[in-house]
Amino acid sequence: MAQLLLSYPSSSATLRCANYFRSRSAFGKAESWGRSLQMVQCCSTTNTSSSSKLAELLGGREVVKGRENSNNSEEFECLVSEFGWKARRLAKEDDEMRKVAAIQAEAFHIPVLFFDDVFFEFFKAEVLSGLLYKLRNSPPNRYACLVAEPNNEAIKSQNKLVGVVDVTVLRDEDVLQRLHGAEEYLYVSGLAVSKTFRRRKIGSVLLKACDMLAIVWGFKYLALRAYEEDYGARKLYSKSGYEVASGDPPWMSTWIGRKRRVLMIKRVNNFA
């Protein structure tokens, strides 16, 4: 599972109850044309040619019918529609944000022996706080929270979110040295699916939505980190086109006692 990344520009402390890392968000240069796009039409991604179709659309700088929210930030009605699910950008509504925090907290909370319910509520509040901070302080083309929901109007009307993933523009030098001249990249984190909806291709749909967002924002590379022994998550990422680029040194687990992670990188297909 990709790690849950809570980004605070002024902090790099470790979350006590979950042993995840906060990292700085890079609010630097973005692709100049990325800011002018307001919305991308809902794209059915039933095969691998969908990325090139969207690339053709963006190559002509054609903007399809869209809308802006009250904060004038980019908001996508739909990035991907496949397997009965659709992925879009999170609406800045209290109810949706709380549901996102609950899904991520459920996925990343590490149970404790005593007072687990109390610690879970604290962790969920921490996740929600991090989400609120990123949404309020990140430029709209530097951070996005993508959510998945059923592609069914009857269920959608119940505001049923089933999955979430965070996408952040970063410029970590350790990653950039593997990206062949790129100045920035999209970092994928916090991928989580509601427990009752797992193994239904929702993770794949969310990862494909990250690909589409990279095309819209003009980034060639996506990167994520996964635990080395989390073979299920790594298999999902490999199927989505991510390749292992490096791993934590052995002493990370023997001396510090932290699970070793691998860095996985993907180059967006439509870039030559």
- 111 touches 17 (CB < 8 A): no
Catalytic residue among 185, 221, 237, 242: 237
The helix or strand, by DSSP H or E, that contains position 155, with its residue range, turns out to be: helix 153-156
- 1 touches 230 (CB < 8 A): yes
% pLDDT > 90, the chain: 57
- How many angstroms separate the CA atoms of 70 and 40, rounded? 18
Mean pLDDT to the nearest integer, 33-57: 37
Of 221, 222, 223, 233, residue with least CA distance to 259:
233
Residues forming a β-bridge with 143: 168
pLDDT band at 26 (very low <50, low <70, confident <90, very high): very low
What pLDDT is recorded for position 269?
Answer: 79
What pLDDT is recorded for position 91?
Answer: 85
pLDDT band at 20 (very low <50, low <70, confident <90, very high): very low
What pLDDT is recorded for position 202?
Answer: 97
Strand order in the sheet with 243-247: 80-82, 85-89, 143-150, 163-170, 185-193, 221-227, 261-267, 243-247
133-143 residue pLDDT tens: 999 999 999 99
pLDDT at 209 exceeding the cut of 70? yes
What pLDDT is recorded for position 158?
Answer: 60
pLDDT at 229 exceeding the cut of 70? yes
- 22 touches 13 (CB < 8 A): yes
Instruction: Write down all domains in the chain, each with its CATH number in brackets.
Output: 32-219 (3.40.630.30)
pLDDT at 21 exceeding the cut of 70? no
158-169 residue pLDDT tens: 668 999 999 999
In the block, tokens 């490096």 appear at 246
Pairing state between β 221-227 and 185-193: parallel
What's the predicted TM-score (pTM) here? 0.73
pLDDT at 241 exceeding the cut of 80? yes
What pLDDT is recorded for position 249?
Answer: 84
Mean pLDDT to the nearest integer, 67-90: 71
**Catalytic (active site) residue 242:** no
- 201 touches 219 (CB < 8 A): no
